[in-house]
A and B are shown apart, each in its own frame.
Chain A
Amino acid sequence: MRPLAVTLALAGGWGRAALVAGATALVSGLLLVAIAMARLWEQPAWTGDEWVLGAVRDPGTRPGAILGVLVLTLPLVLLLDQAVRLGTTARRRRFAALSVAGATRRDLRRWGAVEVGLPALLGGVLGVPVWWLLGRIHTLEGTTLVPTSVGPGPWAVVAILLTGAYGALVGIRLGSRVDLDVARRAGGDRPPRPWSALLIVLAPALLVVAGDSDPVSLAMVLLLVAGIAGLAPWTAYVVARAIASRTARPALLLAARRLQADPRPAGRAAASVGAVGLTAGVLAVFVPDVLATQTYDEGYYLGPALVAAVGAAVALVAIAVSLAVHLTESVLERRREMAALVATGVPMSVVSESQRLECLVSTVPLSVVGSALGGIGYAAWAGGDGLFVLPAVLVTGAACALACWLVSLVLRPWLLEALQPEHLRTT
C-alpha cells in the first residue's frame, strides 16, 4: 500500500509535479553550470582542453558571467514558486478536511514537504542532464557556454540537495498556512509597499561609498536586480489602481481591479521582467559602444553580449510560462464568478482581453523601468552613448506584449472551459 504522504502528494496532480520538477531541473542545471565556472579557478591558468566562452575563461570577467547565470535562475525560481502554488484552493480544502479529521500541524507540514520536496528533489537530479546538454551548445566561434575542462564535481550533490531542500521548505510553508477558512477574501491582504526601492537607491550609493571595483559592480547589479524584482507587486498595484480609477474600457477595468485586489501573484510571476529590461538597457548602450570603439576584438565582447541577449529571451519565456500558470490558476479558481460574468452579458472576448491586459499591466511598466534604468545607469557609469536606450525600452515592451498575447492564446482553452454556464451551479 502507498504511504499516505505519497497519496496526498499525487492528489495535487501530475501536471503540477511535472512543472515543479521541470523548473527545479533548470534551476539545478544552471547552478551546476555556475559551480563549474567557479571551479575554473582551481584549474591551471591555461588548459588546452578548455574551449569555453572567453568571458568565462577570463578570470577578470568570470565573476560577471557567473552572476549572469545566477540571475538567469531568478525567473526559474519564480516559475517554481508559481508551480508550487498551483491548486492552492483545492490543497487548502484538502488540508482543512484532513485537519478536521485529526491531522496535526506537524502532519500537514510533513505532507506539504513531501508534496513539493519529492518532485523538487527529482528536478534537482535532472539538473545533471540539463548541465550536460548545456555543455553541448557551441557559439558561432566554436566555444562552449559551459567549461569543458572541469565539471561541478562533488558540489553537484550540494546543488541537488539544496534545490530539493528549497522545495521541501516551500512545502512546509504550504502546510503551515492551512486554516479552516478556505474561502479567503480577495484583497484581504495589505497593499504591497515599495521598500525594495531602497535597494535601487543603495546601488549607486554603494559605488560612491566603496569606489569602483569588480566586487562593487557585481554587488551593484545584484542590488538593482533584487530591487526591481521586489518592486514588481507594488508597481503592478500602483499602475492598476491608476488605470482602474480612470478607464471606461470594461476589459481594462476588470484587469486593473483584479490586479489591484491581488497584485502579489502576478507581480511575483512578472518580477524578473525588470531584470530582462535591465539587461536589454545595458546591451543597448554596450553593443553600439563596442561596435564604435573595437576593431579587432569585437567578437570577444559581442559573444557574451549575444549570450546575455539569449539569456534574457530565455528568461522572458520562463516569465511567460510563469504568468500563464498564474493566470490559468486564477481562472480555474474563479470559475463561478467568471461564468456569472458571461451569464450577465459580458462577452467572452472581453473576459479574454482582460486576462491579456492583466498580463500587460503587470509586465510592461516593469520592463520600461528596468530597461530605462539599465540603459541610463550603464551609460552614466561607463560613459557610453544612450542613443539606443529608447529603442531598447520599446523593444522590451513589445516583447512583453508579444509574450502576453501568446500567454492569452495558451490560456484560451481553460478560459473557455471556465466560462461555461455549468459552473454557475458549482461552488
Chain B
Amino acid sequence: MSPTPEPLLSGLELRKSFGSTTALNGASIEVRAGEIVAVTGPSGSGKSTLLHCLAGVLVPEVGTLTYRGSRLDHLPADERTRLRRVEFGLVLQFGLLVPELTALENVALPLLLERRRRTDARAAAMHWLDRLGVGDVAQSRADQMSGGQAQRVAIARALVTGPQVVFADEPTGALDTLTGERTLEVLLGAVRETGAALVVVTHDNRVAAHAEREVVLRDGTTEHAGASR
C-alpha cells in the first residue's frame, strides 16, 4: 500500500473572527495535489471564511496555514497576493470579473501583472476562453455576458497562470440548474486536465458529489472530513 502523499495545502485549528462574530473556531482541512475537496455546511458555518484563509485572502488569528511546507500565514501581504495570482486561482460567486474590462482583458490581467508581453498574454487568454467555450464573448464586457458565460470567464482567469490549487466559492450558486451543471462540468474538466487541486465551497450536494473528499463545517468547526458522502 502506497503511503498517503503529503498535503499540498493545509489549515490546522484555524480561528477567525469578524468583530464579535466567530466565523472559524478551530476548523482544519488538508488538500493534496490534484485532489478535489468540497467544503460544505449550513449558511454561516464558515465555509467561505475557510476558503479565503486557505487562499491567503484572510489571515487567521490562530492556527497554522501551510502551503508546500511553508507557513502561508507568515507571508507578507504582497507575497500572498502574488501567490494568489500565480500559484492559486480564485473563482468567486457571480464571477466577480472587472466589469469594465472585456472577457479577454479580464483573463489576460494576471499575466500582464506578471509582465508578460501584451500579445502573449492575450494569446494565452484567448486560448483559455476558447477551451472553455466562451471565445465568442472575448470582446464583450463582463456586464454584457450571461451569468454562465461570466462564470466560465472567471474560471479561465483562474486557470490562465497554471495554478496548483483552484478555489471556487459557490461557483454555481448564482446560476440556474442547467447552466450550473454545465459550468461545473467545465470547471471539473479543466482542473482535471491541468492537474490542479480544487477546493470548492458549496451548498449543493450535486457539486459535493463530484469531490473526492468532503469537509463539513458547522459553527466554524470541522464536523466531518473524509470521503465524499
Contact = CB atoms under 8 A, between A and B. Distances in A.
Interface of A: 185-188, 247-250, 253-254, 257-258, 260-262, 334, 336-337, 340-348, 350, 421-422, 424-425
A421 B92 contact: no
A343 B55 contact: yes
Nearest to B154: A344
Query: Which of A250, A336, A344, A346 has most B Cβ within 10 Å?
Result: A344
Contacts of A248: 112, 117-118, 121
Given A343-B55, A345-B86, A257 B101 contact: yes
A239 to B, nearest CB: 15
Contacts, number: 91
A421 B52 contact: yes
Nearest to B92: A340
A356 B100 CA distance: 17
B141 A187 contact: yes
Interface stretch (B76-84, B203-211, B218-226): B76-84
Contacts of B100: 186-187, 254, 257-258, 260-262
Given A248-B121, A254-B101, A337-B98, A186 B143 contact: yes
Contacts of A422: 18
B141 to A, nearest CB: 7
25 contacts: A186-B99, A187-B100, A187-B143, A247-B118, A249-B112, A250-B112, A250-B113, A253-B105, A254-B100, A254-B101, A261-B141, A340-B92, A343-B52, A344-B90, A344-B157, A345-B83, A345-B86, A345-B88, A346-B81, A346-B109, A347-B82, A350-B113, A424-B48, A424-B52, A424-B169
Contacts of A340: 92, 96
Contacts of A186: 99-100, 141, 143
* Among B55, B110, B143, B169: residue with most chain A CB under 10 A: B143
A343 B53 CA distance: 11
Given A344-B157, A345-B113, 4 more contacts: A257-B105, A344-B85, A345-B82, A424-B48
B81 A345 contact: yes
B57 interface: yes
Interface of B: 18, 48, 52, 55, 57-58, 77-78, 81-86, 88, 90, 92, 96, 98-101, 105, 109-110, 112-113, 117-118, 121, 141, 143, 157-158, 169
Given A261-B141, A422-B18, A342 B52 contact: no
Contact of B143 (A185, A342, A346): A185
3 cross-chain pairs, A with B, having the tightest CB-CB distances, nearest first: A345-B85, A248-B118, A340-B96
A350 B82 CA distance: 12
A340 B95 CA distance: 9
Contacts of B98: 254, 257, 337, 341
A249 to B, nearest CB: 8
Contacts of B85: 344-346
B101 A347 contact: no
B55 to A, nearest CB: 7
Contact of A347 (B58, B81, B169): B81
Contacts of A247: 118
Given A187-B143, A336-B96, A421-B58, A346 B113 contact: yes
A350 B81 CA distance: 12
A253 B112 contact: yes
A188 B113 CA distance: 28
A347 B78 contact: yes
A250 B113 CA distance: 6
A357 to B, nearest CB: 13
B105 A343 contact: no
A425 B169 CA distance: 11
